[in-house]
């Protein structure tokens, strides 16, 4: 008799578990959590989605490779930090510069300051790149123990030197003519020159 009682008890527990599972499954599908009533439909206000604005004539089209900056409705860009940076005197190392080899920087020369220069997507960098493979603060070039040094700033896609494209550098001394690859072998390229 105790065997029958035990089997009956197991059957009741199984039926209760299946019933609970079915109830929670149906409430998940309807969108309301188990044991909670759906919100009163009178308290929900639906708004029409905003109409898509057509770009103005001459406006740039969306480019998925560029970094997008999203601002809150009442937020504006603060150019004060950039203005202070531009007004601060910076001494450059005589005859030491980077020359852009690809992208928007092709043909441009960037003098290396005594405090060093940063390369990345952030507007606070000295050389601002738009490539999505480039980190916001990707690399730094400056004086370390009297020698010009390239330092990767823990970027996601790495900084590479010359033909060594299989392993990213962390820090290396630069020599005239070195080619720097920012963000991989397909990324932006610069040539280090020292007159």
pTM reported for the whole predicted model = 0.53
> What are the residue ranges in the chain where pLDDT is below 50?
32-44, 46, 49, 80-85, 88-89
Which two structure tokens, joined as six digits, stand for 139?
A: 């690399």
Residues 132, 184, 174, CA angle at the centre, nearest 5°? 120
Q: Name the residue among 123, 130, 119 with its Cα closest to residue 78.
A: 123
Listing from the earlier edge strand, what are the strands of the sheet with 179-182? 109-113, 92-100, 188-194, 179-182, 159-161
pLDDT of residue 20: 84
pLDDT of residue 183: 84
pLDDT of residue 170: 93
Residue 26 CB contacts under 8 Å (≥ 6 apart), including other chains: none
Note the pLDDT tens digit of each residue in 3-55: 888 888 889 989 988 888 888 776 666 554 444 444 444 444 545 545 555 55
pLDDT of residue 4: 85
Which residue in the block uniquely carries the two structure tokens 């044991």? 35
pLDDT of residue 31: 55
């Amino acid at each position: 008799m105790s065997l029958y009682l035990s089997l009956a008890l197991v059957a009741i527990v199984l039926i209760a578990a299946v019933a609970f599972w079915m109830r929670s499954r149906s409430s998940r599908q309807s969108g309301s959590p188990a044991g909670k009533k759906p919100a009163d439909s009178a308290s929900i206000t639906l708004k029409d989605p905003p109409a898509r604005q057509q770009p103005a004539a001459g406006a740039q089209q969306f480019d998925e490779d560029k970094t997008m900056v999203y601002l809150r409705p009442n937020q504006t860009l603060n150019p004060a930090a950039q203005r202070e940076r531009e007004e601060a005197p910076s001494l450059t190392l005589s005859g030491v510069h980077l020359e852009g080899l690809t992208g928007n920087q092709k043909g441009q020369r960037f003098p290396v300051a005594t405090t060093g220069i940063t390369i990345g997507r952030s507007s606070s960098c000295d050389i601002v790149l738009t490539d999505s493979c480039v980190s916001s603060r990707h690399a730094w070039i400056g004086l370390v123990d009297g020698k010009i040094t390239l330092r990767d700033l823990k970027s996601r896609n790495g900084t590479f030197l010359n033909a060594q494209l299989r392993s990213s550098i962390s820090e290396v001394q630069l020599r005239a003519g070195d080619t720097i690859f920012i963000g991989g072998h397909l990324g932006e390229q610069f040539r280090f020159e020292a007159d």
